[in-house]
Structure 1
Amino acid sequence: MTTAALGGFGPLLHAEWTKFRTVRGWWMSSIGAALVVCLVGLLATAAGNQGSGSDLPVGPGGEAVNDDFSFVHRPLTGDGTITVAVTSLTGVIAADPGHTGSGLAPWAKAGLIVKDGLAQGSSYAAVMVTGGHGVRMQYDYTHDVAGAAGAVSSSAPRWLRLRRAGDVLTGYRSADGRTWSEVGTARLAGLPDTVQAGLFVTSPSVEQSTGTGSGFAPAVATGGFDRIALDGGWASGSWRYRQVGDDAGVSGSYTADTKGTAVRSGSGYSVTGAGDIAPVVGGPATSGVRTVENFLVGAFAGLVVVVVVAAGYITVEYRRGLIGLTLAATPRRGRVLVAKALVVGGVSFLAGTAAAAVMVPLGGSRSRAGGFPVLTVPTGTEARVVVGTGLLLAAAAVLALGVGTVLRRSAVAVTVVVVGMVLPYLLATASVLPDGAAEWLLRVTPAAGFAVQQSVVRYDQVVTVYAPSSGYFPLSPWAGFAVLCGYAAVAFGAAVVLLRRRDA
């Protein structure tokens, strides 16, 4: 230790690492933290399901998507334009089992679409009218651009135009078919020369309040199209009808006339469809679908182990009277804590990252083998969740080290950190609190750090229950992690100040 004092921070760090690895309980517990993350994750994915276990369609960005709609189409080769007047948009919502009720889903859609083939998940751009959000342009599932507000009717039709120029798709709207305004532009890299384009209708489920909470009722929509005009490289011949995806035509509690159809009507079409063209999100609407977070539910258990190790890493020196020797060998006391933080934080980071790197692919394969579809996420999101799990454990370790230095008693320090971090997380995600209270806990307590593991994304154009019980945190992944880091920094700063002022 004298060498550390004379030689600088490097030897001090080496000395602390040597101290850590020579105490069998510490390094074995760190390995145990990784194992418990995996063990709990394996238990959570052990149940079987009678489903196929196949994943949902994947969009161009790597995210799981819904791609279900009624499509009246024909091939377009090269550049071209399609123009149409949408004269009506009506809908039917399932009021209760065995019955139907009138109504239009706010995100029911009817409009024009250019799509890279008929396969689900293929790239697309569309301009549309909606049930309650006016004219929109959407493309590649995650992108949504607002246009003019207002509903559509036979007395107030909405004219839409979609123009292709190479990989660039531009959507336009008009109130009279003469004066046009641009809604948005999309660049679809790699769009083939020949695409499928035409009219589409779809309608997602509608959130409804029930006696036990919120539920989702299936819905269909019917769009009226008139005065279709084409320009450019359109194939000759007649229009073709296709239901893209399983949900484009609904059945069950609906009557026959609410199934997906396309009927010639005057100079246009009346098209009925259901489903959605949008990213898949979590919540009740996707019950039975597993997410990356499901494979990492053991992180909170591993975190408890890490907290115990980190708190004991400093408090054992107080309990055994060794802190005096450590500080005598290294008079610059702040450096001692920094070295300890780097050691215990680094070990915790490796344990968490390794466990997550194993559980994410293993949990996915086990879920599919057990009949559960898995909510696919982009590679970048998956990498952030894996690394974020390691960072979560590292920050918790530094927090416990700081609290342990301040309190000098391991049991008390562990209790403070667990009550402040793990308990709010469990209360917020276990549906035992109202959504508002749960979100408050995940904003202002160290439990906000668990947001760094979130893989599901909130989209304004997709309706679900965006609540902690459904896997949604009120803060973004890195903002939530910053809250935890703030607590760790305060605890660590207080520990440095007290260590300098106290006698050993």
Structure 2
Amino acid sequence: MTAGTTAMEREDTGTGHDGFLRLVRAEWTKFRTVRGWVIGMVVAAGVIVALGLPPGRQGSCGQNGPGSGCSLPVGPGGQEVTDDFTFVHRPLAGDGGITVRVASLTGLLPGSGDGPADAESTRPGLVPWAKAGIIIKDGTRRGSAYAAIMVTGAHGVRMQYDYTHDTAGPPGGVSAASPRWLRLTRSGEEVTGYASSDGTHWTRVGSARLAGLPATVQAGPFATSPQYTEAINKVLVSGDASAPSQVTAAVDHLTLQGAWPTATWTGAGSFSDGSPLQRGGFQRTADGFTVTGSGDIAPAVPGAAGLGTTITQTLVGTFAGLIAVAVIATMFITAEYRRGLVRTTLTASPRRGRILVAKAAVIGAVTFVTGLAAAAIVVAFGPGILRANGVYVHAATTFTEVRVVVGTAALLAVAAVLALALGTMLRRSAIAVTAAIVVIVLPYLLTITGLPTGAARWLLRITPASAFAVQQSTRQYAQVDNVYTPADGYFPLAPWAGFAVLCAWAALALGLAVLLFRRRDA
């Protein structure tokens, strides 16, 4: 009798792959026949799209007639860059080099007071990435290839090239008592930088191969100083979190090696426009120059120190959609407990673990498709709406856009599985939904609403909210001071590393849910 009953159960429930597929089909039938769940998924997609296509957000780019448009140059690697500095240059034909001594490095910062600073007021000081030194550049076109050796406000000597590459040299600052010697040499497409404390003993800092560098380049001293930013909530100028800064370098003992055609030194850069902190220029001295500059030569970034926004910000509605998904996912199991239908489910299929996995497969797949459609609409149309409203949106590669769209869908899907597991363990809808929101959504909301940076980065490393990193579409750069916060689309973990944290949480929760589901009474 027992053997016959066992055989009948196996025949009814199915075995192996076919039996699991029947369970998946049964769970899918349950889901699609409950109108509230289907409507809930539509609502989840709707809020993501509605918050991602904001008609009211306005900017100033191109809104004030000809010449008001915003644009950024593109560097040799295809990335958007900032390329604003004072450049005192002469042509260098073929191989050669240039040597200088930086005798002093001083600067100006925005003035401070009891209230918002006046854009016209200044105070002495250097931003950490104020730069001055010598540079070899493929002409004066913004975005052209270059290599430079420089002293900085707080990061010692650096060799930088083509905007994104940065190599550390000897540490320490520059003063009249402790000047710094710099040398830059060119051999074909290779440019090498050296530093010295006495002009006699030299240290090689680094080299760069600039593919396609023409025979004749422009070379000479330069100076630039990026935006002054504060990581705390302090208003600086006109309610912004950043303001221009300025640097002045005394460059002397200038000597040239190699083929330098007879020519006068010419200045390039912004010499008179903008506030006093944005003005630059140069003066000839007995054996060098005094060069004053403002701006930066570096990757362009969104945020307090940069311009505009990214496609990440268009997906801000993901957290709202996630709340709707969490409600549906938890109810996908708690509704059966509330109505007593779980007993019917277990009678039809006694293998409890497979039932829960089938439910996870269904809710995960439905959520993934929903999230994929919503994210694709936002990423396809959101940037265009923002640009039409004068907001600058940083360009993203097709690969990045696809990764952001698919990553958003995967984030929602795995979060739904985690919510399902919580619903299985807690059984009650209200408690399970609250737990899902607290675990998944609340950490993200805290990080974008003023939580201190250190605490925010900690939460985004260890909580399920780490998965929002899959939406990051721009990089952080050590050589660009900025307020890198989730509100500006930056996360402490790499995109798929953050997603892996969520997957680990979901796998752990689902495993515990299966264990409890097997051991507890229905």
Normalising TM by the smaller chain, what interval?
0.7 to 0.9
Cα separation, 1, equivalents of 2:31 and 2:230 = 56
Does structure 1 residue 72 correspond to structure 2 residue 72?
no
1:390 and 1:79, CA in 2 relative to 1: closer, same or farther beyond 3 A? farther
Question: Pick from 96, 104, 112: which aligns with 1:88?
Answer: 104
Partners of 2:24 and 2:358 within 8 A in 1 = yes
Rounded to whole Å, the distance in 2 between the matches of 1:307 and 1:34 is 13
Deviation for aligned residue 1:307: 1.5
**Runs of 5+ unmatched residues, structure 2:** 1-10, 63-68, 112-116
- Aligned letter for 2:75? G
Q: Equivalent residue for 2:268?
A: 242
Report the counterpart of residue 102 of structure 1 in structure 2: 124
Deviation at 1:369, TM superposition (A): 0.9
The structure 1 segments of at least 4 consecutive aligned residues displaced by more than 6 Å after TM superposition are none
CA pair 502-103 structure 1, distance change in 2 beyond 3 A: closer
Structure 2 residue 65 is the aligned partner of structure 1 residue 47: no
Aligned to 1:265: 285
Please state how far the C-alpha of 1:129 moved relative to its aligned partner: 0.8
Residue in structure 2 matched with residue 281 of structure 1 by the alignment? 301
Q: Which of 176, 192, 195 is the equivalent residue of 1:170? A: 192
Question: Would the aligned equivalents of 1:37 and 1:296 in 2 still touch at CA under 8 Å?
Answer: yes
Do 1:5 and 1:12's aligned partners in 2 also have CA atoms closer than 8 Å? Answer: no
2:428 to 388, 409, 428: 409
- Work out the CA distance in 1 between the residues paired with 2:161 and 2:439: 43
**1:322-337 → structure 2 map (5 Å cutoff):** 322-337=341-356
1:420 is the counterpart of 2:439: yes
Residue 205 of structure 1: aligned partner: 227
CA distance in 2, matches of 1:465, 1:259: 24
TM, length-normalised to structure 2 = 0.85
Output one character per residue of 1:232-269: Cα deviation in whole Å (capped at 9) or x when no partner: 454442232111xxxx44655528xx831122222322
Aligned equivalent of 1:134: 156
Quote the Cα distance in structure 1 between the aligned partners of 2:363 and 2:354.
14
Q: Secondary structure at the match of 1:285?
A: coil
Q: Match for 1:179: what amino acid? A: H
CA contact under 8 A between 1:422 and 1:447: conserved in structure 2?
yes
Matches within 5 A, 1:174-323: 174-207=196-229, 212=234, 215-232=241-258, 234-243=260-269, 248-249=270-271, 251-254=273-276, 259-286=279-306, 289-323=308-342
TM-score (norm 1): 0.88
After superposition, give the CA deviation of every residue in 1:270-306 in whole Å (9 maximum; x if it has no partner).
Answer: 22110111223344334x7222222011101111222
In 2, Cα distance between equivalents of 1:381 and 1:477: 11
How many Å apart are 1:370 and its aligned residue? 0.7
Q: How many residues are treated as equivalent by the alignment? A: 495
Native 8 Å contact 2:407 2:471 kept in 1: yes
Matched, 1:462 2:473: no
1:89 is paired with a residue whose SS is strand
2:430 is the counterpart of 1:391: no
Q: Residues of 1 paired with 2:380 and 2:139: CA distance? A: 30
Aligned residue in 2 for 1:159: 181
- 1:200-220, CA deviations, whole angstroms, 9 ceiling, x for partnerless residues? 110113335999467434221
SS of the residue corresponding to residue 351 of structure 1 reads helix
Distance in structure 2 (CA, Å) of the matches to 1:304 and 1:210: 30
Percent identity over the alignment? 56
Q: Deviations over 1:84-142 (max 9, x none)?
A: 22222222223242333222332211112223333323332211011222100112222
Residues 162, 467 of structure 1: CA spacing in aligned structure 2 closer, same or farther, 3 A cutoff?
A: same
Hey, what's the Cα distance between the residues in 1 that align with 2:231 and 2:338?
57
2:231/2:483 contact within 8 Å kept: no
SS in 1 for 2:392: coil
- Cross-structure match for 1:121: 143
- In 2: Cα distance, 1:191 partner to 1:325 partner: 74
CA RMSD of aligned residues (A): 2.9
Distance 1:476 1:493 in 2: 26
- What displacement does 1:499 show? 1.4
Residue in structure 1 matched with residue 391 of structure 2 by the alignment: 372
- Aligned pair in 2 of structure 1 residues 299, 252: CA closer, same or farther (>3 Å)? same
- Answer yes or no: is the 8 Å Cα contact 1:220–1:273 preserved in 2: yes
Instruction: State the distance in 2 between where 1:377 and 1:78 align.
Output: 36
**Contact 2:225/2:294 (<8 A) preserved:** yes
Call closer, same or farther: CA 1:139–1:405 in 2, change over 3 Å. Answer: same
Given that 2:229 and 2:304 are in contact with CA atoms closer than 8 Å, whether structure 1 keeps it comes out as no
Q: CA deviation at 1:46?
A: 2.8
1:54 and 1:374 in contact (8 A); partners too: no
User: What amino acid is the match of 1:36?
Assistant: V
How far apart are the structure 2 equivalents of 1:328 and 1:121? Answer: 69
- Partner of 2:364 in structure 1? 345
CA contact (8 A) 1:206 1:219 kept: yes
Distance 1:191 1:302, change over 3 A: farther
Deviates more, 1:390-399 or 1:415-424: 415-424
Q: How far apart, CA to CA, are the structure 1 residues paired with 2:36 and 2:149?
A: 62
Q: Paired residue for 2:44?
A: 33
Note if contact 2:58-2:389 (Cα within 8 Å) is conserved in structure 1.
Answer: yes
Q: Deviations over 1:450-486 (max 9, x none)?
A: 2322334333322222344554434443343333223
More off after superposition, 219-228 vs 434-443: 434-443
Of 480, 487, 498, the match for 1:480: 498
Contact 2:314/2:378 (<8 A) preserved: yes
Question: Aligned with 1:127: secondary structure?
Answer: strand
Instruction: Please list the CA deviations of residues 162-220 of structure 1 after superposition, one character each: whole Å capped at 9, or x if unmatched.
Output: 23334433211122333321111223344444443322110113335999467434221
Q: Residues 160 and 361 (structure 1 numbering): CA distance in 2 closer, same or farther, change over 3 Å?
A: farther
8 A Cα contact 1:123 1:188, kept in partner: yes
How many angstroms does 1:337 deviate by? 1.9
Contact preservation (8 Å) 1:56, 1:376? no
What SS does the aligned partner of 2:276 have?
coil
SS in 2 for 1:46: coil
Q: 1:414, 1:211 → 2: CA distance? A: 33
1:419 and 1:123 map into 2 onto residues whose CA distance is: 49
Residues 134 and 184, structure 2, Cα contact 8 Å, conserved in 1: yes
8 Å contact kept, 2:229–2:305: no
C-alpha separation in 1, matches of 2:356 and 2:93: 67
Distance in 2 separating the partners of 1:169 and 1:445:
45
The 3 A distance-change label for structure 1 pair 135 and 480 is same
CA distance in 2, matches of 1:262, 1:268: 10
Contact 1:290–1:372 (CA<8 Å) still a contact in 2? yes
CA distance in 2, matches of 1:176, 1:330: 83
